[in-house]
Each structure stands twice: as structure tokens, then as C-alpha cells.
């Protein structure tokens, strides 16, 4: 399987026209990850502001790409904590983080409306997400009173322990 | 399907060690790390790190479901469990099997068969491998009867224990009832299994173990033995291969017994069969089998030139055993020191902290397996192993000299280490002569009280 420059350009076009801000593609040993540059996307209304796009392709199994023969490790990878945006220093803002590693869901079941959206007013006990570990569903609660300002998780994807799921502007 | 991405469910030097082989094989690595290890060297070496939970291992490294979920979520084909943590937990192997993730290790059934000391003893007897005279005891009354039959001194062991945990030495038969009751209560609390058994205590024994590889279909090869008699409270400190001064016939008998034992289980993967060799009689007895890669595997790699982690992955891939493995030549001698963050001047108390400065030794025949660099953290939550220094030479004297120089050349500041212990042990005439028994460390420390204070825990 090979991917030509034209294919990559086509994928970029599709991404730009879509509501997503990141594409991770894996085909037979080829890994392609694309991300929109610039500000984090807040909700589904994407596409307008971001024009720059960074594309990096790595042929993981290409023997011509040595994957670090050096004995000493490189400095920390910026991508090592991907999906982990720096928590806001604003004291009126609080991130709800995942209490465990698992698959996160924004809704109680497929097709159902999400627990919360941007703008939803929550209390400490409001359920905001589910994190599944081997068929075991763990509910995540807001833990704070306020208004949801950002959804940081992607439905159905792996979240790590401590990874921010959404951001809440604290009330009063 | 060939393994292309491996989730490493471990930390420390063994995580770094596994990543090294994966890179050589062009296999991607995902490190499952606790919060305390997010910024560790293995985390930087891995292609990706996922945080599986807080520092406490019961909330992270010991969570079977989380580890398998991490493998599924990162699309890893296989899990390498390293040693310790979940490496010998049948539940992990079983969950991997049901989820279509390759477990790099033996089957769940094999882990269970060797993890239960009584079943392992029975399997050894079935394979015509000698076991230490002993028996399981159901009650204190039965223990007294058995104790009389076997004779003192005796060891009371927990069926569910291992690595020396839950063992009691009984010198006189009249002390047996109290020891059995205490051992049973402790075993129940520590392992959730109150069963104990008695074994004759061998007063002067050597710990000699045999490295095996099995294809899971009944074919097993051995890669020689390792002598791990330099132990402090059953914790190995120095290991070497070949075991010095063993008669050729005894050495051969050990290799054959280990191979027979593993073949009877149709053992899959890398494993180690441990024996106690009676120094007085030259008789040997099966102790247990470790169903994983061992800390001390590098000495075997040094003399055979084999990458044991690569062989584990090949077996997990279903490629079977390479034909060459059956007749592999073993060249020279290799000795390993475990460098722990513990203070020999303070009863070997763990010494966690930040390593301010470290210079690991280099030179001909020297290998260092470590995850410690300047600035590295030694967290208090895990074992204190910082590095293994391995020296290989054409003969034992050469290997020993290289290791002594390497230990002396190591610079380590910020945390206390057991390097002074190693310097003393390697220079000791008894160790230099070779073939010490498992009482060596206690004798060494008694003769050098400055290295260990009188307060024994």
C-alpha cells in the first residue's frame, strides 16, 4: 500500500472541509497524522478560522527511517502527552479529567444526545461522560458548579488517566 | 499476524530493555506508565506513552483490565509484561487471549501450574525432577508428624508465596507448631492463601537456575545455568554464568532436569527453572519455575549472544524455536551486579530521590541496563533497582576484574546505592574463589558491620 502526494492533498482537503480537527490514518505500516494548526476547536462549528494545516507522514516500517539508533533518548516529545492541553491558569476555569484510562463516551448510548454540550450548566453531581474499561462503565461527574466552555475529548477514543475531558467555567 | 506494536506493561530498566529490542526489530512501542513515570527515560524512548493511573501500582501497573484496555485502545498487537507486576498473573494472560491480544509469555494454564508451589512440586515429581523432601500440611498436628518424618532443620513455606516471602526457618522441632500457625496466618493475610508446606532446610545450598525457551508445543531448549547464590534475604544481588566449580555431570543433569520439567508443561516462551544445589552432597532439588523474563537474563545473553527478548517475541509470533538455539555455544563468563537505590550503611533501607549525577561505566565487555540518567527520579512506590552492570570476559577472572573496575568507575550522587556492598562482595576471597552458598552475604555483612547496622528488621 502506498500513498501518493496527491492522496495526501486529497485527505487534507477532506479534513479542511470537515468538522474534525485531526486525522490519524494507519494503513499497513504507514502512519499519517494531520492536525489543524492554531487554536483548539471548541465544538462542531469548525472550518472557518483555521487555514494552516500541518501534515506529517511517517512510514513506520520503512527500513530507511531509523527509529533512533542512539542509546540515549531524545528530549521529551511534544506529542507525548497528546490530547493533554495545558490546564488553564485562570482560577475560574477547571478541567474535568479522566479518573482512569479507558474509552470515553459523551453520551449514555450510541445515538443518544450527549450528556453535556458547550453552554450546558452543570453542578458537581452532573454526569459529563462515561469512561469504559473492559465493558465496565465508569461515570464521570463534573465535580464543580459552572458552565461547560469546551469539550476536549473525542467520543469513542482512548483517554489516559488524568487527561482533560472538558473545561468548565466555574459559577460565581 | 506478525506483531507490529507492543504495549509494555512495566517500568524501569526492563521497560527500556524491551524497547531497545523492539527498535532493533522495527516494532513500535507503547509504554503503559503510571503518573510517577510519565517523564521517565522509558517514556521518552517509547514511541508513545499512555498514562494508566496514579503512582501506586495497585491503581496502575497491577490493573489487569486497564492494561488490556490500553493495548486495545492503542491498537497494540501484543503485551510484554516484563518481570514483576502482572508478568505471572494468569488473569492477564487469560484476558489477553479472550480479547485477541498476544500475551508475550506462557499460557494462563502454565502460569497457574508453576505459580502454585504444590502443583509445581507435583509437576516436578512427574517429570522425574528431584524435589526437596517435604509435604503440604493441613493442620498443626499433621505438621508435627511430617516434621518428625523429614527431620529438622525445616522450612515452613507459604503455598502462594515466592521470592522468599512467607518463609520461616525452624531449627528445633518443638518450635514447629508455633511457626506453622504464624506462617499460615501471615500467608492468609499476604497472599489470600493460608496453606503452608514443610521442606527440609538445606543448610549450605547454592541457588542455580536454568534458562529455558519453549515453543509451546513441547519443544524446549536450555541456554545454560546461572548461579544466583549471592542473595540478601532471598533478594538476588549478584548473578553469574556459568555456575563456578560445578562438576560437568551435575551441570548437565541440571540442564536436563530443567528441560524435562518445561517440556512436560509444553512450556511457551522464556522461563527459568530454579534449583537448590546441596553444597555438601552435590544433590540438587527443584525450587520453582519463574514464568517470565528474569532480571538476571543479561548474563545468559552475554555468553550466548542471544537476545532473549527477541526470542520471546519470536515465540509469541508463533515462529517457534530457531534451529540454532539447540546447539548454541556459550563463550566465556559473565557476572552481573544489581545496583539498587538502598543504603548498605543503613540496613539496606530504600533510598528514593532524584539522581543528581550519574556516570555509568563503559569499556570492553561491559553492559549497563538502566533507566537512570542525571535528573532521573527514583520513586518510593516501586522496587529500588536502578541498573544492572554486566561484565563479560573470556574467563571468570577476566569478567570479575572488568566488573570490579566498572563498579569502581560508577559515579552516582543524589541517592544512596549498594555499590559499596558490591565492591566488598566482588573483592571477597570467598566470592573470588567461586561457588559460594546462599549464606555468603550474611557472613560478609557480619564481618563488615560498618555496611549494615546491628538493627536487623
B248 in Cβ contact with B242 (< 8 Å): no
Give the per-residue SS3 of chain B.
Answer: CCCCEEEECCCHHHHHHHHHHHHHCCCEEEEEEEHHHCCCHHHHHCCEEEEEECCCHHHCCCCHHHHHHHHHHCCCCEEECCCCCCCCCHHHHHHHHHHCCEECCCCHHHHHHHHCHHHHHHHHHHCCCCECCEEEECCHHHHHHHHHHHCCCEEEEECCCCCCCCCEEECCHHHHHHHHHHHHHHHHHHHCCCCEEEEECCCCEEEEEEEEEEECCCCEEEEEEEEEEEEECCEEEEEEECCCCCCHHHHHHHHHHHHHHHHHCCCEEEEEEEEEEECCCCCEEEEEEECCCCCCHHHHHHHHCCCHHHHHHHHHCCCCCCHHHHHCCCCCEEEEEEEECEEHHHCCEECCEECCEEECCCCCCEEEEECCCCCCEECCCCCCEEEEEEEEECCHHHHHHHHHHHHHHCEEECCCCCHHHHHHHHHCHHHHHCCCCCCHHHHHHHHCHHHCCCCCC
Judged by a CB distance cut-off of 8 A, whether residue A133 touches chain B is yes
Instruction: Give the domain B205-451 fold.
Output: D-amino Acid Aminotransferase; Chain A, domain 1 (3.30.470)
pTM above 0.80, yes or no: yes
- Cβ-Cβ contacts under 8 Å, A160 against chain B: 50-52
pLDDT range class, residue B398, cuts 50, 70, 90: very high
**B439 CB burial (10 A radius; 0-12, 13-18, 19+):** middle
User: Nearest CB to A103: which of B23, B73, B95?
Assistant: B73
Beta-bridged to residue B80, according to DSSP, are: B8
Q: What CATH number should be reported for the domain whose range is B5-104?
A: 3.40.50.20
pLDDT-based confidence at residue B456 (cuts at 50, 70, 90)? very low
Tell me, what's the pLDDT at A29?
58
Domain boundaries in chain B?
5-104, 133-200, 205-451
Mutate to test the interface with B, among A33, A80, A105, A157 (most CBs of B within 10 A): A80
Does A67 sit within 8 Å of B51, measured CB to CB?
no
Domains and CATH numbers, chain A: 5-65 (no CATH), 90-170 (2.40.50.100)
| CB neighbours of residue B360 within 10 Å | 19
| Residue B436 cell numbers, joined | 559460594
DSSP reduced 3-state for A122: strand
Residues B40, B43, B49, B53, CA torsion sign? negative
Residue B158 binned pLDDT confidence (cut-offs 50, 70, 90):
confident
B256 touches chain A (CB under 8 A): no
Record: contact B43-A80, CB cut-off 8 A: yes
Nearest CB partner across the interface for B68, out of A29, A134, A161: A134
Contact map slice: A 53-72 vs B, CB within 8 A: 60-61, 63, 67-69, 72
As a whole number, mean pLDDT of residues B287-298 equals 97
- Give the number of other Cβ atoms within 10 Å of residue A163's Cβ: 22
| Grid cell of B391 as nine digits | 561484565
Range 140-159 of A in CB contact (< 8 A) with B: 157-158
Question: Which chain B residue lies closest to A62 (C-alpha atoms)?
Answer: B26
B292 given a catalytic annotation: yes
SS3 A69: coil
- Residue contacts between A and B (CB atoms, under 8 Å): 70
**Which one of B6, B33, B40, B44 makes the best mutation probe of the A interface by having the most chain A beta carbons within 10 Å?**
B44
pLDDT for A58 equals: 33
Judge whether residue A55 has pLDDT over 50.
Answer: no
Pick the closest to residue B105 from B121, B92, B118 (CA basis). Answer: B92
- Of B206, B279, B292, B338, the catalytic one is B292
Region B264-284: mean pLDDT is 96
Residue of B nearest to A103 (CA): B73
> Mean of the pLDDT values across residues A102-117?
96
In this structure, whether the domain defined by B133-200 belongs to CATH 3.40.50.720 is answered with no
Query: Is B28 part of the contact surface with chain A (CB cutoff 8 Å)?
Result: yes
Kindly identify which residue of chain B lies nearest to residue A160, measuring between CA atoms. Answer: B51
Report pLDDT for B166: 72
CA dist B394 and B44 (Å) reads 35
Q: What is the pLDDT of residue A88?
A: 60
Tell me the pLDDT of chain B averaged across its residues. Answer: 94
* Same fold: B5-104 with B205-451: no
Query: Do A29 and B38 make contact, defined as CB atoms within 8 angstroms?
Result: no
Nearest residue of chain B to residue A104 (CA atoms): B73
- The more confidently predicted of residues A78 and B446 is B446
Instruction: Give the three-class secondary structure for A153.
Output: coil
Of residues B23, B39, B75, nearest to A68 (C-beta): B23
pLDDT surpasses 70 at B107 = yes
Amino acid at each position: 500500500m502506498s500513498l501518493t502526494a496527491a492522496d495526501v492533498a486529497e485527505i487534507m482537503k477532506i479534513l479542511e472541509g470537515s468538522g474534525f480537527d485531526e486525522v490519524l490514518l494507519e494503513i499497513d505500516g504507514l502512519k499519517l497524522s494531520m492536525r489543524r494548526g492554531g487554536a483548539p476547536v471548541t465544538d462542531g462549528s469548525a472550518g472557518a478560522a483555521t487555514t494552516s494545516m500541518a501534515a506529517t507522514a511517517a512510514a513506520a516500517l520503512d527500513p530507511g527511517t531509523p527509529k533512533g539508533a542512539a542509546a540515549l533518548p531524545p528530549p521529551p516529545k511534544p506529542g507525548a502527552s497528546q490530547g493533554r492541553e495545558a490546564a488553564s491558569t485562570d482560577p475560574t476555569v477547571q478541567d474535568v479529567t479522566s479518573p482512569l484510562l479507558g474509552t470515553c463516551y459523551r453520551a449514555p448510548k450510541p445515538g443518544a444526545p450527549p450528556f453535556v454540550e458547550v453552554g450546558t450548566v452543570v453542578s458537581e453531581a452532573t454526569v459529563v461522560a462515561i469512561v469504559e474499561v473492559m465493558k465496565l462503565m465508569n461515570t464521570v461527574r463534573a465535580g464543580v458548579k459552572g458552565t461547560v466552555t469546551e469539550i476536549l475529548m473525542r467520543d469513542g477514543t482512548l483517554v489516559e488517566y488524568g487527561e482533560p475531558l472538558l473545561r468548565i467555567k466555574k459559577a460565581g | 499476524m506478525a506483531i507490529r506494536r507492543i504495549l509494555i506493561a512495566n517500568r524501569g530498566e526492563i521497560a527500556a530493555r524491551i524497547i531497545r529490542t523492539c527498535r532493533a526489530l522495527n516494532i513500535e512501542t507503547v509504554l503503559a506508565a503510571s503518573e510517577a513515570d510519565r517523564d521517565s527515560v522509558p517514556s521518552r524512548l517509547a514511541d508513545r506513552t499512555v498514562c494508566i493511573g496514579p503512582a501506586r501500582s495497585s491503581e496502575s501497573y497491577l490493573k489487569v483490565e486497564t492494561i488490556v484496555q490500553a493495548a486495545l485502545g492503542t491498537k497494540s498487537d501484543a503485551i510484554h509484561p516484563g518481570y514483576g507486576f502482572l508478568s505471572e498473573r494468569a488473569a492477564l494472560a487469560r484476558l489477553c487471549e479472550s480479547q485477541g491480544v498476544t500475551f508475550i509469555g506462557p499460557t494462563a494454564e502454565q502460569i497457574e501450574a508453576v505459580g502454585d508451589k504444590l502443583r509445581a512440586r507435583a509437576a516436578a515429581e512427574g517429570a522425574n525432577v528431584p524435589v526437596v523432601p517435604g509435604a503440604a500440611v493441613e493442620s498443626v498436628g499433621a505438621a508435627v508428624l511430617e516434621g518428625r518424618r523429614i527431620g529438622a532443620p525445616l522450612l515452613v513455606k507459604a503455598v502462594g508465596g515466592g521470592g522468599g516471602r512467607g518463609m520461616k526457618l525452624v531449627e528445633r522441632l518443638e518450635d514447629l507448631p508455633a511457626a506453622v500457625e504464624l506462617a499460615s496466618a501471615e500467608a492468609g493475610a499476604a497472599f489470600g492463601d493460608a496453606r503452608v508446606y514443610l521442606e527440609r532446610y538445606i543448610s549450605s545450598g547454592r541457588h542455580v537456575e536454568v534458562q529455558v525457551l519453549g515453543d509451546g508445543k513441547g519443544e524446549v531448549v536450555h541456554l545454560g545455568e546461572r548461579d544466583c547464590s549471592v542473595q540478601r534475604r532471598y533478594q538476588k544481588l549478584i548473578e553469574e554464568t556459568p555456575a563456578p566449580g560445578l562438576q560437568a555431570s551435575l551441570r548437565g543433569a541440571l540442564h536436563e532436569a530443567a528441560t524435562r520439567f518445561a517440556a512436560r508443561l509444553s512450556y511457551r516462551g522464556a522461563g527459568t527453572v530454579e534449583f537448590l544445589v546441596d553444597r555438601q552432597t552435590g544433590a540438587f532439588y527443584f525450587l520453582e519455575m519463574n514464568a517470565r523474563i528474569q532480571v538476571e537474563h543479561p548474563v545468559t545473553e552475554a555468553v550466548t549472544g542471544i537476545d532473549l527478548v527477541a526470542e520471546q517475541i519470536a515465540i509469541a509470533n508463533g515462529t517457534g524455536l530457531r534451529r540454532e538455539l539447540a546447539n548454541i555455544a556459550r563463550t566465556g563468563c559473565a557476572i552481573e551486579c544489581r545496583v539498587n537505590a538502598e543504603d548498605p550503611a543503613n540496613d539496606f533501607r530504600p533510598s528514593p530521590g532524584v539522581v543528581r549525577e550519574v556516570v555509568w561505566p563503559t569499556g570492553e565487555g561491559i553492559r549497563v541496563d538502566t533507566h537512570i540518567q542525571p535528573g532521573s527520579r527514583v520513586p518510593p512506590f516501586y522496587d529500588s533497582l536502578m541498573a544492572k552492570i554486566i561484565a563479560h570476559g573470556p574467563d571468570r577472572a577476566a569478567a570479575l576484574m572488568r566488573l570490579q573496575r566498572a563498579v569502581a568507575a560508577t559515579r552516582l550522587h543524589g541517592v544512596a546505592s549498594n555499590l559499596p556492598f558490591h565492591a566488598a562482595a566482588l573483592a571477597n576471597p570467598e566470592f573470588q574463589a567461586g561457588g559460594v552458598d546462599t549464606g555468603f552475604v550474611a557472613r560478609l555483612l557480619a564481618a563488615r558491620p560498618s555496611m549494615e547496622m546491628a538493627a536487623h528488621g
